[in-house]
Amino acid sequence: MNRFRLFTACALCFTFLPLPLRAAAKESKIDPAAIESLKKMCATLEDAAAFTYETEGIVEAPTPSGQTITLFPATEVAVKKPNKLRVELRGEGPAFDFFYDGKTAVAYAPEAKKYSIAAAPPTLDDMLPALEKETGIQFITAPLLFKDPYAAIGRPITSAAVVGSAVIKGMPCQHLAFRSPGVEWELWVDEGGKSLPRRLVVNFTDQRDLPRVLVEFTKWNLRPWLRDSLFEFSKPADGQEIPFLSVQKSE
């Protein structure tokens, strides 16, 4: 399997690319209650100056042979607005760390001790689109990290529905389904006072080579104490620097 595709499949688990959720109804229509729940969740994250969370995911990634490979990555994410992000990706698949301190973006493979460093825009809102454009790295949950999460969804929502109620690890949730051009997505939002995302499923319909992703969110903290040094990368003495683009070209 192409190393870049495997890396991207795992990286997809901790971010929120244009969020589209799968409508349960056959006809495309917008249920205002589903939009209201989505906006309420986005407002919760917009109000947080910093937050941390962990995820457990399932990535169903197609391969050139036609077989679908299933991976089970896990992440720890720390965000400090407007310009700091730290991600640790573990579990099944290649380990991956990402650092952003408002000046540079760093992708680090701790097992291989290889890293890529690039100058980055001064805010998360500018850095995340630039990262995708310049390196091809996409984060499914990226909109969660923007100043205005709802505006960051990007693609117009063409269908929105409330599927029903569910319980995720003891937390009562509302199951929502959305559809946007090229993507279907489902979102489970807790019905407590915090209104946080608890589960996300994304299925891209416009590109067959992109994985189907399920993410479960745990250990949310909307008032963490985060040192600036957490977001800074320290080069390993025996590490090897490689250009970002070489990650895409490697097999």
pLDDT digits (tens, 9 = 90+) for 6-56: 344 344 444 333 333 333 344 559 999 999 999 999 999 999 999 999 999
Q: 149 near 37, Cβ under 8 Å?
A: no
Q: Give the count of domains, the chain.
A: 1
Angle at the Cα of 15 from the Cα atoms of 9 and 18, rounded to 5 degrees: 100
What number is the average pLDDT over the span 221-233?
96
Domain that holds residue 33: 3-223
For position 245, what pLDDT does the model report? 63
Whether 86 is covered by a domain: the verdict is yes
Whether 129 is covered by a domain: the verdict is yes
At residue 241, φ and ψ (nearest 5 deg) are -90, 135
Whether 207 is covered by a domain: the verdict is yes
**Domain of 216: which CATH number?**
2.50.20.10
For position 63, what pLDDT does the model report? 85
pLDDT digits (tens, 9 = 90+) for 55-81: 999 999 888 888 989 999 999 999 999
Q: 62 near 211, Cβ under 8 Å?
A: yes
Q: 238 near 110, Cβ under 8 Å?
A: no
pLDDT digits (tens, 9 = 90+) for 141-151: 889 999 999 99
- Identify which of 244, 251, 246 has the alpha carbon closest to the alpha carbon of residue 98: 244
What the block records as the tokens of 32 is: 């205002």
What the block records as the tokens of 215 is: 């993410």
pLDDT digits (tens, 9 = 90+) for 151-171: 998 789 999 999 999 999 999
- Identify which of 240, 248, 244, 249 has the alpha carbon closest to the alpha carbon of residue 113: 240
